[in-house]
A and B are shown apart, each in its own frame.
Chain A
Amino acid sequence: MNILVCVKQVADTEARILLTSDKKSIEIENKYNMNFFDEFAVEEAIRTKGKVKDCQISVCTYGSNKATEVLRTAIAMGADKAYLLDNNGYDIEDPIITAKILASFAKTEGFDLIFCGRQAIDDENANIGAMMAEFLNIPHVSAILKFDVVDEKKARVESEIEGGKEIQEVQLPALFTTQKGINEPRVPLITGVMKAMKAQINIIDPATLKDLSKGMIDESASKISVLTYETPSARPTVKIIDGETPEQKVKALIDILKDEAKAL
C-alpha cells in the first residue's frame, strides 16, 4: 500500500510577523514548524503502516527550499520518502493551484491513501484536501477522528460532522484530512532525527509534472490576488474594575457592560 502525506511548513504562532512598508508583502521571523494538523496526518500514516503489509509512506510539500525541514521532521517521525515540490521561493496565493500541483504529483506517483491536515493554521483555509481529492476524482472525508483499513480496497473512518460524528466506509484510493484527537503525534527519536538528516529529499519542478505547465501554475494563473495587507487595530487598554468585594466588582462590571459597552 502506498500512502502519501501532504504537509505544510507554517510560521510558528510566536513568530513575529511584519508588513513591508508598501503593505504588499509579509516578513516572517525565522521560526517555522510543521502545521499542527499535519502532525496527525503523518502519525496516522505511520500507524497505518504498522497495520498493513508492504506499506510505504511518502511525504510531500509544495514550498520553498526551507520547507525541506518539515519533510525531514516527517522522516524523523517515520515516513520513508520525501518530495519537495519546489516553488522557487514564490508563494502562490491561490489554493487551487497548490492543490493542482499536489494532485498532479499524487497522480504521477500513484497512491492508495492520502492524508492531509484538516487545515493550515496560518491561513486557516481548509482547502487543499478536498480540492486535491476533486482533481484526483477520488472520495474524501474531512476532519477524521478514527481511521482503520478494512482491506486493500476499503477504509472505515469516523469523522466530525456538524453537531456530531459519522462513521463511513470509503473505497480506496481516497483522501482524508486529520482532526485533532485522532492520535497523539509521536516526538521523533534521536535515531529518527539522525536518519532524517541524511535522508535524500527528492526535489521536483512542478511544471514538469503530469498535465501541468508553467503557465498553469505561475502568478498569471492565480485567480485571486492580494490588494493590501494591514496590521489589526490594537485593542484599547483594559479597564480594571475596582471594588471592595467581588460583589461590588461584579455590579460595576455589569453597569459598564450595559451602559458603556452595550454588550448586555
Chain B
Amino acid sequence: MSKEIFVFVECKDGSIRKVSYELLSKAKEISQKSSSIVYAVIIGSNQDVLANQLKDFADKVLIVDNEKLSKYRWDTFLSVMEQIIKKYKPYVMFGPSTTTGKDIFPRLAARLNGAIISDAVDVVFDENTLKIKKPLFGGKIISWMKCKDDSTFFVTFRPNSFIVENRSLNGELIKENIDVSEDSRIVSISTEKRETKKVDLQEADFIICGGRGMKGPEHFQDLEEIADIMGGRVGASRAVVDSKWRDYDDQVGKSGKTVSPKLYVGCGVSGALHHTMGMDTSKVIVAINKDPNALIFQYADYGIIDDVFNVLPALKEELKKIKKEI
C-alpha cells in the first residue's frame, strides 16, 4: 500500500495560510516514521511564487494552475482534487478545518467514497497505523480514531494544532495539467472581502478576548492596540457579539470559533462553559477579572483579580517594552 501523505495547501489573499505549513510540518514528521513522502497540492491561478515557497516543506509540490481556479469554489477545486487523487492514490490527505476545508473535504470524501475524520487536533503514526486525535463534546472527551480499511483517508485539522518546522527539502515542482469543470448550477454574483490585514482568529498566536466586563464597544480599542502590538487578534464572548459590540467573526466559543493560540488573555470574560469550550486548548491562558470567583479562573494558568480598566494600560505599556527588546 502506498503511504504517501498529501497536504491540501490553502491560500488566502495571495499567500499561503500558516495552517498549511503546520500540516506540511506534521506530515513530514509522520512520513519520516512511515518511510513515505509528502506531497503539497496547491491549486489556483498564477501560483508559481507560492509554489516555490512550498518547496522546502514538501518532497513534491503538485501545482494546478488555471485561471478558472483564481477564486475558491468547491465545484472547481473538487474536480481538480478528484483527478489528482485518482491519479496518485495517496494513502492520506490532510487539510485544514477552516471555512474552506469544511466546505470541500466532506464532499470530496463522499465523491471518492473515502474515509474522513474532521476537526482533529493531532496525529501519530504507531503500530503501522495513523491514529487521529479528535476532541468531542467541546473537549470534554478526547477520542483516538483510525481508518479501518484502505480507502483514501481524509483528515482535517484545526489551525494551530502543530508547530511549523522550517526544513530545506528542496522538493520537486510538478505541474499538473488538469481540466477544470464548473457546476453551472451555481453562479457567483458578488464577493465582499473584509478589508483587514490582521491574522485569522483561528490562526492567531495571541488572542486578547473581551467579555461583557469591557462595558462597551469603545473600550475594545485598547484591546485592538494590544493585539496590534502582539501581532494577534481581538476575540469576543458571545455576550459581546450579541450586544453588537463586535462582529460574529470575532466570537470565541461553542457557537463561534474554536481557537488554540499560544497565549489567550481574557478580559472581563466570566468563563462560561460555552466560551471555555472554544478556548481551553490554548497553550497559556491568562484571565483578568474583578470577581475572584469567576469561572474563568478554573481554566486559566494565570489570573489577575482587578478592574480590567486599571490593568489594560499597564499591560499595553509592558507588552510594548517587550516587543522593543526583541
**B192/A166 in contact, CB under 8 A:** yes
Known: A130-B110, A250-B311. A162 touches B99 (CB 8 A): yes
| A216–chain B nearest beta-carbon distance, Å | 11
**Closest residue of chain A to B285, judged by CB?**
A235
CB contact under 8 A between A127 and B116, given known A13-B274, A247-B314: yes
Q: Which of B75, B100, B115, B134 contacts A162 (CB 8 A)?
A: B100
Whether B187 and A253, one on each chain, are in contact in the complex, defined by CB atoms closer than 8 angstroms, is no
Q: Give chain A nearest CB distance to B126 CB in angstroms.
A: 10
**A75-118 near B? 1/0 per residue, CB < 8 Å:** 00000000000000000011110010000000000000000000
Q: Please, what's the 1-or-0 string for B155-172, where 1 marks a CB less than 8 Å from any CB in chain A?
A: 000000000000000000
Q: Is the CB of A126 within 8 A of B106?
A: yes
Min CB distance B250 to A, Å, is: 13
What is the predominant secondary structure among interface residues of chain B facing chain A? mixed
CA of A143 to CA of B115 in the docked complex: distance in angstroms? 23
Binary B-proximity of A211-249 (CB < 8 A = 1, otherwise 0)? 000000000001111111111100110111100001101
| Cβ–Cβ contact B262 & A163, under 8 A | no
Within the assembled complex, what's the spacing in Å between the Cα atoms of A211 and B188?
A: 33
Residues of chain A from 126 to 161 with CB closer than 8 A to chain B in the complex: 126-131, 133-135, 138-143, 156, 160-161
Interface residue SS majority, chain A: mixed
Contact B137 A11 (CB under 8 A): yes
- Encode B66-81 as 1/0 by CB contact (under 8 A) with A: 0000001011000000
**B297 lies within 8 A of chain A by Cβ:** yes
How many A residues are at the interface, by size bracket?
35 or more
Tell me whether A13 and B106 are in contact in the complex, defined as CB-CB below 8 angstroms, given that A165-B191, A250-B315 are known contacts.
no
Is there contact, CB below 8 Å, between B142 and A230? Answer: yes
In the complex, how many angstroms separate the beta carbon of A242 from the nearest chain B beta carbon? 9
- List B contacts of A228 (CB < 8 A): 143-144
Known: A223-B148, A232-B140, A258-B322. A171 touches B185 (CB 8 A): yes
Residues of chain B at interface, number, CB under 8 A: 91
Chain A residues lying within 8 Å of B285, measured Cβ to Cβ, are 235
Within 8 A of A (CB), among B288-326: 292, 297-307, 310-311, 314-315, 318-319, 322
Min Cβ gap B242→A in Å is 10
Q: Does B217 contact A (CB under 8 A)?
A: no
Q: Are B107 and A164 in contact (CB under 8 A)?
A: no
Give the residue among A119, A168, A181 with the most B Cβ atoms within 10 A.
Answer: A168
B151 touches A223 (CB 8 A): yes
The answer for the CA separation of A240 and B305 in the assembled complex, in Å, is 7
A238 with B298, Cβ < 8 A, contacts A131-B106, A232-B139, A249-B306 known: yes
Q: Is B277 an interface residue (CB 8 A)?
A: yes
Residue of B nearest to A138 (CB): B185
In the bound complex, do residue B136 and residue A96 qualify as a contact, i.e. CB atoms below 8 Å apart? no
Is the CB of B117 closer than 8 A to any CB of chain A? yes
B190 contacts A223, C-beta separation under 8 Å: no
Convert A1-39 into 0s and 1s, putting 1 for each residue whose CB lies closer than 8 angstroms to a CB of B.
000000000010110010100000010000000001100
Contact sample, A vs B, 14 pairs, CB 8 Å cutoff: A13-B277, A99-B106, A119-B102, A125-B106, A161-B100, A162-B98, A180-B255, A223-B149, A224-B146, A238-B303, A240-B292, A246-B311, A257-B286, A264-B263
A-to-B contact residues, CB < 8 Å: 11, 13-14, 17, 19, 26, 36-37, 93-96, 99, 119, 121-131, 133-135, 138-143, 156, 160-171, 174, 180-181, 222-232, 235-236, 238-241, 246-247, 249-251, 253-254, 256-258, 261, 263-264
Q: Give the top 8 A-B pairs by smallest Cβ distance, nearest first.
A: A223-B115, A164-B193, A134-B110, A171-B185, A250-B314, A246-B310, A127-B106, A131-B110
